[in-house]
Structure formats: C-alpha cells, structure tokens
C-alpha cells in the first residue's frame, strides 16, 4: 500500500481542529516533502522522522514521500505531527498494518532516537476529541498522559517511543500493547500565603473580602512598604473553590503554553507580569496566536504592580477583556478566541515619590506632578475597576503586635457562602450581572436610593459607576446574608470608589 491516512489535531486558539495526515509513497528520486500550511517546526520533522525510524529498527523507504496535512488552510505548528507522519510512512511502506491505525488519533514529537517527547495543548486535544465525538483512542507521549486523562471518558494511550507504538499495532501479545491510562489521582491543595501574616489594614482586608465574594476588580493605592503586594499575593486564598468546569478551562489554557502541572489542579492562577510587559504579552498574539497573561489568569487573578509604570497603550488593551471576559486575536488570514475572565488586582503609589499624604510629610511632589502621574491610568480603564482601596502605612506598634490577624480560611468561608448564594439566586457572580438583571437582583430601598443619587451628582460618576456600586452593594448584602440591599450596604460600596478621586475634589 502506497497511501496511509492517520488522524491528528492542530491547535486553533482554544480549540483543536482535526487534521488528516496523508502519506503517499511514489516512484522516483528519493525526496521528502511536507505540504499543508506547515510552519518551520513541522517541516523540520523530515530529519527527526527519518532518524527516529532508522534508530527504531525500521527501514526508511528510498522513494518520493509526500505528506499532506489537511485541511490545507489551517496553520500547523510544533512537532506534534512527528508521530503520525512516522507511522504513516511505516504504514504506507507496509512495515506496520495500515488498517489497525484506523480509529486512533496521534500526537507527539520524536527525538532522533525514536523516543516521544511531550507537546503543548494535549488537554485541548482531549477536550476536542470528546466534544466532536472522537475516535476510540488518543495516543500521546507518556509525559502528557496525566494531563489529557483529566478529561472524563477520554481514552488515552501513553507511549514512550515510536517502537512502543508500533508494537501496539503489530504484537499479538496483550502485554506488549499500550494500556489505557487511568484518570490521575487529584489532590486539591489550596497553597496560598495566609492573611494572618498581614498586620493591621482591617479596612483593606474588608474591601478585598468584598472583592473576592463578588469577583470585583481592585486598585490598591498606598505608599511603598504599606503591604500592597503582600495583600495581593494572599488574595487568591480568599476566592471560592473552583468548579470542575472552571478548573478544566483554566488548565486547558495553561496547557496551550506547556505550563500546566497536575499539582496546580483547582488552584486559582495568579499571574503577575512585570511592568515592562508588552501589549502582546498581556493579551496574546503572534503569527500563530497564543494566549497572553490575561488568558493564563482565566478564573484566577491578574496582579499588575506599579500600575502607572505600564505603558498606557498596554493598559488600554485591558478595557474590553475586563467587561467581555474573552479576547479575540485577529491576524490577516486567521483569528483565535481565548477566554479571559480574570480578576484584576492592581497596585500603585499615589505620586511619583510614593509618599503623598504620608504622615512623615516626605512628599515634595507638586500638584501637577501628582496629577500627571495619576493620569497615566486612563479614565476609561479606571472606570472599569470596581473597588479602590487606600492602603495606609502601618504604625510600628501594630507591626510589633504578636497577635495574629484573621486567617485566610475563616475569610474564605464567608466568601464561599456569599458566592454560593449568588449562584443559587442568579447563576453567576455579582460582577457579571447585566444591567437588565440589576433591576431584578439589586433593588434599593428609599434611603439607599437617595444616598446613591446624591453621590452620583456630587462626584459626577458615569452610568457604569452607578451599576458598579449596585453590584458591590449586592455583594456586601450577600456577605451579611441580607436578602435586600440596605442603606449601610450602599454607603460602604460608595466608600470603595474614592481612593484616587477624592484628591481631585475642590476644597
């Protein structure tokens, strides 16, 4: 038989499209061509596959070999097609039975010795195989088996080498055939720093508790050393436990970049890119689009320290994902969608020197310098941040106090109860409530409505700010186990809007 057809998958954003690997042997001078919109990594498979076949004890056909990766308009990248190409050559040259390959999907990078190396995106491949009514088995490198087996009902067959895969299709002894990989044992450990380490800052801790309960974004404003980074690093420990669906989505995104580890299962991602990061690093991109930091933080936390030090054009790319929860990366001939439902925690100093309003009176920045520094954060982006918290410097007596603060676990218990209440009432977290849903779930009493209207007029807040305060007030009421929003809930929500803006008010 001079033609063999195998199945594999190519990554396309969060999806893994089916690819037919067609291998044809023809008479003529020996040649090896790979067609089908393959990038450089795929075309280099020619040398890897030739060496792997020879070093596995098979003969490499001295014929004209043509490998077609269909569909031809779908970009193909990485070394994931090494294994199906090698098997296709062996099947086309009748060194292994071609019919036995039917019903399987293959992916794996080959070393020159024939060993299988791990690849990116195997979790996305397993999800796609199940979603589209996949075949009877997915043969992958052994290092990717645990990851792919997280998908329930996925038939994963791990292999360590090309020779082992060939034995699976040629051996009559079941002991030499590949065994189906069981689902890995999962240990759901929440390993986060504890809030008990933070001395003082009770108001800020309360604000972060509200943010965790309602999935609200936060801006921390305070002088150097006040504890902004310390608080942000402990914030993931307050968040509700991840559902299986959320954990699978977050793991699939990390798998696309090869960063997923089994011990991270159901751990909220925490991403903290440096302020020199580019817009592509944040939202993703590339000729073959890959996810950026906002997608890698899906269902987790994106922490941006020293917020004004980021380039303004970089920060402005966060506007749409903050509201929509996804990002579409468009290129001339291709586009990819990635999820980006992250919780933004940002931190900044109030002025260039960092000590504006500090009790030490060390700040000598002019009003114009302070305004210019704060204007590095555009108004539209600031208007999309739900909660602003002023983190004041902690006095020495508080720091010296040996009494521990409230632990993360006790705060997280209240947050979990509030989050469960939101799921039961509306099927989503409060931050995701649409304007039409606010009328149903965020009704105010007469006093609360009056307080909010006066604040809107005094501070000249936008319509988005009005809806934001309703959502935060709803979260505060949920933490208090109140069915209805009361006046004190509205007043507390208003206080979370003024860390920066109150400095701009006339005396």
Residues β-bridged to residue 132: none
Listed by start position, the domains of the chain span 3-176, 195-425
- Tokens 């000598």 found at: 364
Question: Helix 463-479 and helix 487-495: axis angle, to 10°?
Answer: 120
Q: What's the whole-number average pLDDT of the chain?
A: 89
CATH class of 195-425: alpha beta
- Is the predicted pLDDT of residue 255 greater than 70, yes or no? yes
Please report which confidence band the pLDDT of residue 130 belongs to, taking 50, 70 and 90 as the band edges: confident
Enumerate residues 6+ apart whose C-beta is below 8 A from 38.
69, 76, 81
| Amino acid 500: pLDDT | 65
- Per CATH, 3-176 and 195-425 having the same topology is answered no
Average pLDDT over residues 273-279: 92
Nearest CA to 69 out of 17, 15, 121, 2 is that of 17
Q: How many Å apart are CA 192 and CA 58, to the nearest integer?
A: 51
Please report which confidence band the pLDDT of residue 503 belongs to, taking 50, 70 and 90 as the band edges: very low
Average pLDDT over residues 193-217: 92
Contact present, 136 and 106 (Cβ < 8 Å): no
- Is the predicted pLDDT of residue 333 greater than 70, yes or no? no
Phi, psi of 157 (to 5 degrees): -120, 100
Q: Collapsing DSSP states into helix, strand and coil, what is residue 339?
A: strand
| Amino acid 464: pLDDT | 86
Instruction: Kindly tell me the burial class for residue 357, based on how many C-beta atoms sit within 10 Å of its own C-beta (0-12, 13-18, 19 or more).
Output: middle
Q: Collapsing DSSP states into helix, strand and coil, what is residue 462?
A: coil
- Is the predicted pLDDT of residue 507 greater than 50, yes or no? no
- Tokens 């906002």 found at: 294
Q: How far apart are the first and last CA of the chain?
A: 88
Q: How many Å apart are CA 403 and CA 393, to the nearest integer?
A: 18
Nearest CA to 476 out of 504, 442, 501, 500 is that of 442
For 7, 248, 320, 332, the CA distances from 283, given in Å and listed in that order, are 31, 20, 11, 17
Average pLDDT over residues 201-218: 94
More confident position, 504 or 271: 271
Q: Tell whether domain 3-176 is in CATH 3.30.230.10.
A: yes
Average pLDDT over residues 268-289: 90
Instruction: Kindly tell me the burial class for residue 153, based on how many C-beta atoms sit within 10 Å of its own C-beta (0-12, 13-18, 19 or more).
Output: exposed
| Amino acid 189: pLDDT | 65
| Amino acid 505: pLDDT | 35
- Is the predicted pLDDT of residue 86 greater than 90, yes or no? yes
Please report which confidence band the pLDDT of residue 157 belongs to, taking 50, 70 and 90 as the band edges: very high
Average pLDDT over residues 402-407: 77
Per residue, the 3-state secondary structure of 419-434, as one string, reads: HHHHHHHHCCCHHHCC
| Amino acid 184: pLDDT | 85
**Preceding omega of 7 cis (within 30 degrees of 0):** no
Angle at CA 71, nearest 5°, toward 66 and 76? 75
Please report which confidence band the pLDDT of residue 502 belongs to, taking 50, 70 and 90 as the band edges: very low
- Is the predicted pLDDT of residue 70 greater than 80, yes or no? yes
pLDDT digits (tens, 9 = 90+) for 30-53: 999 999 999 999 999 999 999 999
More confident position, 185 or 43: 43
Q: Range with the lowest mean pLDDT among 358-367, 409-418, 467-476?
A: 358-367
Please report which confidence band the pLDDT of residue 172 belongs to, taking 50, 70 and 90 as the band edges: confident
| Amino acid 425: pLDDT | 93
For 222, 318, 376, 459, the CA distances from 350, given in Å and listed in that order, are 6, 21, 12, 19
Average pLDDT over residues 359-373: 86
| Amino acid 504: pLDDT | 39
Q: How many Å apart are CA 291 and CA 282, to the nearest integer?
A: 8
Q: Collapsing DSSP states into helix, strand and coil, what is residue 502?
A: helix
Please report which confidence band the pLDDT of residue 405 belongs to, taking 50, 70 and 90 as the band edges: confident
pLDDT digits (tens, 9 = 90+) for 336-352: 889 999 999 999 999 99
Nearest CA to 437 out of 452, 450, 416, 422 is that of 422
- Is the predicted pLDDT of residue 174 greater than 90, yes or no? no
| Amino acid 154: pLDDT | 85
Q: Pull the structure tokens for residue 4.
A: 């063999």
Give the rounded percent of residues in the chain with a pLDDT score beyond 70.
95
Q: Pull the structure tokens for residue 413.
A: 């218990």
Average pLDDT over residues 330-339: 81
């Amino acid at each position: 038989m001079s033609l063999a057809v195998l199945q594999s998958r190519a990554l396309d954003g969060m999806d893994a499209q089916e690819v037919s690997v067609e291998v044809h042997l023809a008479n003529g001078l020996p040649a090896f061509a790979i067609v089908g919109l393959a990038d450089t990594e795929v075309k280099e498979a020619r040398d890897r596959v030739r060496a792997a076949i020879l070093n596995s004890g098979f003969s490499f056909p001295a014929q004209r070999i043509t490998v077609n990766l269909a569909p031809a308009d779908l970009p193909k990248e990485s070394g994931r097609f090494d294994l199906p190409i090698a098997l296709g050559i062996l099947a086309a040259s009748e060194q292994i039975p071609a019919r036995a390959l039917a019903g399987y999907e293959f992916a794996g990078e080959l070393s020159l010795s024939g060993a299988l190396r791990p690849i990116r995106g195997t979790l996305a491949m397993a999800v796609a195989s199940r979603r589209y009514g996949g075949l009877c088995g997915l043969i992958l490198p052994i290092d990717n088996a645990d990851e792919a087996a997280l998908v329930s009902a996925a038939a994963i067959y791990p292999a360590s080498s090309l020779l082992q895969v060939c034995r699976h299709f040629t051996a009559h002894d079941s002991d030499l055939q590949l065994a189906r990989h069981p689902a890995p044992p999962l240990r759901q450990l929440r390993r986060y720093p504890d809030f008990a380490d933070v001395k003082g800052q009770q108001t800020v801790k309360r604000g972060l508790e509200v943010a965790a309960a309602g999935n609200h974004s936060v801006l921390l404003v305070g002088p150097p050393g006040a504890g902004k980074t310390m608080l942000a690093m402990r914030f993931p420990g307050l968040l509700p436990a991840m559902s299986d669906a959320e954990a699978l989505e977050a793991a699939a995104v990390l798998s696309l970049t090869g960063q997923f580890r089994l011990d991270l299962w159901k751990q909220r991602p925490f991403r903290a890119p440096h302020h020199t990061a580019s817009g592509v690093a944040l939202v993703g991109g590339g000729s073959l689009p890959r996810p950026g930091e906002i997608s890698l933080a899906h269902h987790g936390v994106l922490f941006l320290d020293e917020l004004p030090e980021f380039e303004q054009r970089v920060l402005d790319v966060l506007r749409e994902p903050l509201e929509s929860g996804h990002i579409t990366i468009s290129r001339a001939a291709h586009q990819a969608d990635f999820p980006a439902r992250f919780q933004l925690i940002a931190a900044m100093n109030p002025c260039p020197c960092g000590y504006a309003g500090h009790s030490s009176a060390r700040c000598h920045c002019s009003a114009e310098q302070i305004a210019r520094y704060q204007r590095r954060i555009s108004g539209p982006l600031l208007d999309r941040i739900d909660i602003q918290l002023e983190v004041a410097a902690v006095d020495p007596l508080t720091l010296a106090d040996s009494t521990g603060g409230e632990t993360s676990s006790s705060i997280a218990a209240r947050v979990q109860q509030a989050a469960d209440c939101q799921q039961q009432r509306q099927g989503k977290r409060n931050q995701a409530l649409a304007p039409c849903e606010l009328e149903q779930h965020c009704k105010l009493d007469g006093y609360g409505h009056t307080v909010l209207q006066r604040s809107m007029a005094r501070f000249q807040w936008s319509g988005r700010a009005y809806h934001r305060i309703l959502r935060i007030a709803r979260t505060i009421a949920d933490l208090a186990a109140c069915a209805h929003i009361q006046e004190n809930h509205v007043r507390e929500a208003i206080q979370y809007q003024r860390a920066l803006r109150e400095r701009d008010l006339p005396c």
